[in-house]
Amino acid sequence: MTDYISLANKVLQDEEITQDEALTLLQTSDENVLELINAAYQIRRRHFGNTVTIQMLFNAKSGACIEDCHYCSQSSISTAPIDRYALVEPKEMLQAARRAAESKAQRYCVVISGRSPLDREIEEISKAVRQIKEELPIQVCCSLGLLTEPQAKSLKAAGVDRINHNLNTSEAYHASICTTHTFQNRLDTLKNARAAGLELCSGGIVGMGEKDEDLVDLALSLKELNPDSIPLNMLHPVAGTPLGNAKHLTPQRCLKIISMFRFIHPKRELRAAGGREFNLRSLQPLALYVADSLFVNGYLTTPGEPANEVQKMIEDMGFEVSVNSPAPARF
């Protein structure tokens, strides 16, 4: 049987686990998953203690996307019955930021649908961010699709702290989930954001039919990228999308994946993100022993757990919500 504690100690001594060792973690039997979680917790506790940060999303523009991302209800090939609307007014973004602050969120993320934002949309979002920063002590993240460096610099100048742009999956599997842009397009956006001086949030979506090797490749690609935060989304299949009938995840499988990412990214903020409630179900609390960040109040087009319920879960597990904890140093 795998000696999970020995692997955790290796990581705690600033050594990296090998690709084969990462694969072994994913192949843990269900009966040994608690031992894996305990080992991952030793790493999490060293770098994050028992703190949990809360994030909140705001869908500022929905639907009408020209991309064909197979997992997304807002894509051009989706027939899912979702709300579709243009970019909301800055005052609505500000109101949502106030709700995020009331929910003890450390970070508020403005999200819009589409391949890339229009320059006028960048201007409207920048206006909203300036208002938010004037009023609220909250960090602001934006997830806006493919960005140019000038657009990223405009957002930085307005007060945006962080850009989210997920790699989503391995480079080898990317064409299986999207054909209208490339893995390299995503890397270019993250490069532009970093050049503008913005923090990076980049992770993936698991449960789309990828192999274990793809998951490890994704984790290692993110290691090279070195983002400040890694959100791990667990596919919540939506009827009307090509992946609407996907059934690749179990609660135990999700915990193994999150744990593997913790071993490879010991010092990075690791978020149990979209699909947490749907996939982890009654095992949600166990994710806190590995991840140090959660979303509250829902996602873009799928519901999520209200902030007060998430806070109760955090407290019941002996953890505490941290509103102002600094991001870990970049290594």
Catalytic residue among 44, 45, 46, 69: 69
Residue 183 to residues 78, 171, 172, 173, 177, Cα–Cα distance (Å): 21, 6, 9, 9, 11
Identify the bridge partners of residue 61 per DSSP, sorted by sequence position. Answer: 112
Q: Which of 107, 162, 178, 201 is catalytic?
A: 201
178 is catalytic: no
**Interstrand relation of 107-112 and 51-61 (parallel, antiparallel or unpaired):** parallel
Question: Can you read off the two tokens belonging to residue 294?
Answer: 């959660």
Catalytic residue among 109, 142, 178, 254: 109
Annotated catalytic residue, options 72, 142, 178, 254: 72
Contact by Cβ (8 Å): 322, 51: yes
User: Which is the catalytic residue, given 44, 65, 162, 178?
Assistant: 65
Locate 27 and state its tokens. 């192949």
Catalytic residue among 253, 268, 271, 276: 271
Task: Characterize the bridge pairing of strands 199-201 and 162-164.
Answer: parallel
201 in catalytic set = yes
210 touches 169 (CB < 8 A) = yes
Active site residue 142: no
Residue 244's φ and ψ, nearest 5 degrees, are -60, -25
Find the helix or strand (DSSP H, E) in which 203 lies. none
The catalytic residue among 44, 107, 141, 254 is 141
Structure-token pair, residue 311: 């806070």
Task: Check if 109 is active-site.
Answer: yes
Query: Is 254 an annotated catalytic residue?
Result: no
Q: What residues act catalytically?
A: 65, 69, 72, 109, 141, 201, 271
